[in-house]
Amino acid sequence: MFESPEILLILLDAACLTLVGLPFCILNNQQRPFKRGFFCNDESIRYPLKDDTISYQLLGGVMIPFCLIVIICGEILSVYLSRIKNQLLGKRYVSCLYKAVGSYLFGAAANQSLTDIAKYSIGRLRPHFLAACKPAWERINCTAGGYVENFTCSDTLQEDEARLSFYSGHSSFSMYCMLFLIMYLQARLKSKWTRLLRPTIQFFLFVTAVYVGLTRVSDYKHHWSDVFVGLLNGGFVAVFTVFCVSNFFAQPVKPVVSQQEDVGHNLQEPSSGNHYGSTD
């Protein structure tokens, strides 16, 4: 099915995807966050420990399959409706799925790497830091509300996680996934009957991302500024991925064409006629 040049392009894409996700893998497995101190009178880090409303496992276990299912179903429907002549249909299915799913995974890896680089480099204390750290107060000099750097946490298992407040990984990942789908639907749903349905779906996707971010504030896992920056980061990466990596907004051709199309497998290569309908 694949020729030698196409295999080389696939290997290049795989190498790029690995490189983009490398910081995320390294930081999560080996790196410890920057050791930041605190002011004794800092009320912003004295909140209690609470369970996550939306855990890491729930967020990834729902959002990733949901995005992949929408993208895969969308690309299969797009290819089926495009009806391009003189082209192996199976090869076109594989090509479009490869580029759409590959673009999504590339952006997800870039988003997580950017998030973790910020988290581990800055080491901002979470709102529940003191409850998680449980420092030995008898050994800390808090006169005049001074800045404390030399202290030991009683609960070392939660200490590192409590230093990863800026910025919110939940917020950035949820906004990336939802905004990616919002723009994907904008590019693919072009029929007249979707003109109100499409923005309705997009609205609830956006609300989902915002809700995930708000739960991180109410759970005392992040400061509001962590969530705000996380949402901005996820949105930026989604826009970058859709417009600079994928080809969702490529100018479509007529539904039926007679010439042979070149269907390479590089993520940057544009495709044609890949829409659910037209705006006519």
* Residues taking part in catalysis: 170, 222
234, 111 contact by CB (below 8 A): yes
Distance CA 133, CA 135 (A): 6
